Structure 1
Amino acid sequence: MDINNLDLRGAVMYKMHGSSENDIRDTIQDAIVTKQEKTLPGLGVLFELLWNQSNPQEQNRMIEVIHNKLQ
């Protein structure tokens, strides 16, 4: 496997394609509960989907929540 050509976004999208809302919720909750480092890239891809579909007001709210949790 050539790590330089790994399409992580594509792999996550392929794996999650066709997932129900409950499947997506379970995936996110499992990643958070288990605290496995290997799930972080997948959560990043899901966050990217959310971010790209959010309007500027929603994006600002996400930034505010994250910022407040990091203080």
Structure 2
Amino acid sequence: MSLNLRNAVISNVAGNTQQELEATIIDAIQSGEEKMLPGLGVLFEVIWKNSNEEDKHEMLSTLEKGLGNK
């Protein structure tokens, strides 16, 4: 993924409210379009980089459960 894509995604949602961010995420997931996946990846990267270790562990547990691993 190029740095330009990261910057474009972040620039596109910078300043959005929680409700706007949620709508963006829900729209990307519900559309089912593969072209939305990189944007969701960038958003996840932002979440990951700004989370503490406890939050990261919780996300990993949720991911593991969602993938049927537990």
TM-score range, shorter chain: 0.7 to 0.9
Whose Rg is larger?
1
Which whole-Å CA distance do the structure 1 matches of 2:63 and 2:7 have between them? 26
**TM-score, normalised to structure 1's length?**
0.85
Letter in 1 for 2:12: K
Structure 2 portions without partners, runs of 5+: none
Which whole-Å CA distance do the structure 2 matches of 1:20 and 1:60 have between them? 26
**TM-score, normalised to structure 2's length?**
0.86
Which whole-Å CA distance do the structure 2 matches of 1:45 and 1:55 have between them? 18
Identity %: 40
Letter in 2 for 1:54: S
1:13-69 per-position Cα deviation (integer Å, ceiling 9, x unaligned): 111122222211110000111111111111111111111111111101100110111
Letter in 1 for 2:26: Q
| Equivalent residues, number | 68
Structure 1 portions without partners, runs of 5+: none
Q: CA RMSD in A?
A: 1.7
Matching residue of 2:16 = 19
Q: Secondary structure at the match of 1:41?
A: helix
Matching residue of 1:60 = 57
